[in-house]
Amino acid sequence: MKTLAAYLDDAAVAHGHLCAGQVLGVRMAMFGMKKLGIEDPQGKDRKRVVTFVEIDRCATDAIMVVTGCRLGKRALKFRDWGKMAATFIDLESGRAIRVAATESSKALARSMHPELESKNEQQMRAYQEMDDDQLFHTQWVKVDLPAEEFPGYKGERIVCSECGEGISYRREIRREGKILCRACAGERYWTALE
């Protein structure tokens, strides 16, 4: 593993700036890797890690920097739960740990650095100084990953009966004898303008 300072530099480049969320994400991922005993998540251990993130904010970019997990590699899984939390899974051992930021860390940051006017500056500095138990709640968990969720899965590609688009990774919906993509089954996040 790199040092905190080195990961913060990498996170600032990847995200475009350094902020409290980046510091929190780096610390969260470093802590998760340490608890799982994963020493080199971007090198020799890179195929061992799958990470679930529960928020689409700055911390997620930082978690990707430390773990090497990416959506395109199918090693990063996003659950839109609005929580500053992530679950780190060691595929080799099957162990998983969920790490969530404590709500009390924000108030603690204010009390640690009242000389700093900006809440972001207070948190950026304090999050680098706090002990892990001040910053995080942890829980060992079990995560059931079906084959189609693993990186490198090569499954059957099928075609939607309605729109004709291809569907991968068993994401189809079977309804009334038809095979439908999620959009044609009514789960659209978009509306056609034509």
Whether residues 107 and 136 share a domain: the answer is yes
Let me know: does 177 contact 184? Beta carbons within 8 Å. Answer: no
Residue 194 lies in a domain: no
Tens digits of residue pLDDT in 126-173: 999 999 999 999 999 999 887 777 776 677 888 999 898 888 877 888
**Structural domains of the chain, count:** 2
Give the mean model confidence (pLDDT) for residues 32-55: 91
Let me know: does 122 contact 116? Beta carbons within 8 Å. Answer: yes
Instruction: Look at residue 153 in the predicted model and tell me its pLDDT.
Output: 66
CATH of the domain at 52: 3.30.1330.130
Whether residues 52 and 15 share a domain: the answer is yes
Residue 27's pLDDT band (boundaries 50, 70, 90)?
Answer: very high
Distances (CA, A) of 84 to 6, 50, 136: 22, 17, 10
Give the mean model confidence (pLDDT) for residues 84-90: 96
Give the mean model confidence (pLDDT) for residues 62-85: 92
Domain span at residue 177 reads 155-187
Q: Is 0.85 surpassed by the pTM of this model?
A: no
Whether residues 182 and 118 share a domain: the answer is no
Whether residues 81 and 162 share a domain: the answer is no
Instruction: Return mean pLDDT, the chain.
Output: 90
